[in-house]
Amino acid sequence: MALEYNKSSLSACTSILIGKGATVDGSTIIGRNEDAKASWPKHFVIHEHKEFTEQQKFISQANDFQMDLPKIRSKYSATPEWTSKEGLFEEDGFNEYGVGMSATESAYSNQRVLGADPLEINGIGEEAMITVVLPYIKTAKEGVLRLGEIIEKYGTCETNGVLFSDRDEVWYFESGSGHYWVAQRIPDDSYAVVANQLAIQEIDFDDEKNFLYHKDIQKFVSDNHLNAKPDTFNFREIFGTHTLSDEIYSTPRVWWGQQEFSGKTDESPESENLSFIKKANRLLSVDDAQDYLASHFQKTPYDPLNESKDNKRFRPISLAKTQESHVLQVRPNMAPEIACVHWLAMGVASQSIYVPFYMGMTDTPEEYKLGELPYDSKSAYWTYKLAGVLLDSHYKELGKMFQDKQEAINITLRKKLHDFDEQASSKDDEELPNYLTKASFEMAKLSIDGYKELIAQLITDSTDFSPLNFKTDMNL
């Protein structure tokens, strides 16, 4: 079928990053909703470790970006598009060293900056970043440096944010123009939520532990008179935007996360001055990250599911255009194959299930490799999407039953994961990959089977909602 779709022009996401000292169990956590189009299937794959004899080259199908790659490619997981016609868009995953990466959080740069350093039409974009970075790094910081070097050399065709994590650190990377970038380490005791805006604020050029950047960025800003407050260096203020669109589309999602995690304040959802780095009023869990990515301003006038006059005022976090949502968790005191859990929710996060997959698995379930256009009943993506579509027309009537089923599946998955963790710790190096693969497959099947039961119940309960109906005398 004909494809008329430019992913890069439509991509819009929401992200969360949490340092290890801010979580209940010492995990590092990064997560993001991949938002673009309501019907655009995703797959989930494992690329095996390979050592090539010939020089490898990446050639983009989205533009003319290309670059040489190392001969050794580590094993990594990814969630590519169902078609590579517009590019790979592998988006998120872990590599064999326990490094997590999520790319990208789309953002915007202001016209002053782009006038001085325009975006490169054939530079690296979102579609290529996982593919050319994740298999070739051993720490989160190495990921920042590799992506920065690529952007300096080849330029980038987009303004983006990129998330990196490993056992010890969480980093957030932002490109602000064609070649200039910065990155900040999320403090261990803090978190950040980001929503389609450049987010990093003050850069401390003397703090190499917590900040990385293009070595000439200060000179570039000075030479082009871009800093209206030269006594400071606020990356968001210098490179970012402040528009009405930001206040309606982006900042309310940041506001919501900060209100949920740090406590209620008098700050406005439309504030342009929300902090990037925040401390929570409690220790956060992987459930908090998932709940944030699945949220839609519940219990406020801005929830699209209520009947308030403001229910369409702001863009919610979880929405129909989410292709997949992921949370990458690295847990402490475990072998990396067990410690790294790729929680993956296909389709709309609020209507799906975050299924845990071990990094140490060697393959993904067949259902996660299927799914094109149109609908395919054998596809994991389409199974979760179908349940949401059946719910959409009758939220009031079916929502409680839907949520009860989600909760039951989530409880069972967490018990399974706990049991598998205990058993995995006793497996030797030869047994472990096969064991983790079987465990991951079992959890995926449990969730999909549960959703097939849910779909059957949704269809059954929906049959009486037809407008072609009449109250019939049961005695006739």
Q: What does the pLDDT read at residue 223? A: 99
DSSP class of residue 230?
Answer: T
**Contact status, residue 190 vs residue 170, Cβ threshold 8 Å:** no
Range 374-388 average pLDDT: 98
Picking from 116, 100, 110, the residue whose alpha carbon sits closest to that of residue 18 is: 100
Burial of 58 (0-12, 13-18, 19+ CB in 10 A): middle
Q: Specify the residue for token string 């590599």.
A: 95
Q: Which two tokens stand for residue 172?
A: 């957030």
163: alpha, beta or left? (left if phi > 0; alpha if psi -120 to 50): beta
**C-alpha separations of 268 from 247, 252, 265, 379 in Å:** 10, 8, 9, 41
Q: What does the pLDDT read at residue 3? A: 44
Range 81-108 average pLDDT: 97
Q: What does the pLDDT read at residue 464? A: 87
Q: Identity (one letter) of the amino acid at 324?
A: E
Q: What does the pLDDT read at residue 474? A: 63
Residues 6+ apart with CB under 8 A from 41: 81, 82, 323, 371, 372, 373, 376, 379, 381, 382
Q: Which two tokens stand for residue 21?
A: 């000292």
Q: What does the pLDDT read at residue 5? A: 45
Catalytic choice (12, 13, 103, 277) = 13
**Contact status, residue 311 vs residue 21, Cβ threshold 8 Å:** no
Residue 2 has pLDDT above 90, yes or no: no
Residue 182 has pLDDT above 90, yes or no: yes
Residue 16 has pLDDT above 70, yes or no: yes
**C-alpha separations of 120 from 30, 143, 144, 177, 335 in Å:** 28, 21, 20, 9, 41
DSSP class of residue 36?
Answer: S
SS3 state at 448: helix
DSSP class of residue 25?
Answer: T
Task: Please give the residue that has the higher pLDDT: either 319 or 468.
Answer: 319
pLDDT per position as a tens digit, 218-228: 999 999 999 99
Question: Which structural domains are found in the chain, ordered by start?
Answer: 10-364 (3.60.60.10)
DSSP class of residue 29?
Answer: E
Residue 9 has pLDDT above 80, yes or no: no
Q: At what angle do helices 432-462 and 395-424 cross, to 10 degrees?
A: 170
- Beta pairing, strands 160-165 & 191-194: unpaired
Burial 412-448 (b: 16+ CB within 10 A, else e): ebeebbeebbeebeebeeeebbebbbebbbebbebbb
Banded model confidence at residue 269, pLDDT cuts 50, 70, 90: very high
Range 307-327 average pLDDT: 95
Gyration radius from the chain CA atoms: 22
**C-alpha separations of 288 from 16, 35, 282, 440 in Å:** 10, 20, 11, 22
Banded model confidence at residue 1, pLDDT cuts 50, 70, 90: very low
Q: Which two tokens stand for residue 132?
A: 């050319």
What is the C-alpha separation between 402 and 356, in angstroms, rounded? 20
155: alpha, beta or left? (left if phi > 0; alpha if psi -120 to 50): left
Residue 7 has pLDDT above 90, yes or no: no
What is the C-alpha separation between 143 and 149, in angstroms, rounded? 10
Percent with pLDDT over 70 in the chain: 97
Picking from 44, 21, 3, the residue whose alpha carbon sits closest to that of residue 347 is: 44
**Contact status, residue 49 vs residue 75, Cβ threshold 8 Å:** yes
pLDDT per position as a tens digit, 421-464: 999 999 999 999 999 999 999 999 999 999 999 999 999 999 98
Q: What does the pLDDT read at residue 6? A: 53
Q: Where are the alpha helices (DSSP H) in 90-139?
A: 111-116, 126-133
Q: What does the pLDDT read at residue 248? A: 94
Which of 122-126, 288-292, 366-370, 467-471 has the lowest average pLDDT? Answer: 467-471
Question: For this structure, is 340 an active site residue?
Answer: no
What is the C-alpha separation between 93 and 211, in angstroms, rounded? 24
Q: What does the pLDDT read at residue 471? A: 75
DSSP class of residue 367?
Answer: G
pLDDT per position as a tens digit, 335-364: 999 999 999 999 999 999 999 999 999 999
**Contact status, residue 32 vs residue 48, Cβ threshold 8 Å:** no
Average pLDDT over the chain, rounded to an integer: 96
pLDDT per position as a tens digit, 38-64: 999 999 999 999 999 999 999 999 999
What is the C-alpha separation between 106 and 11, in angstroms, rounded? 7
Total count of residues recorded for the chain? 476
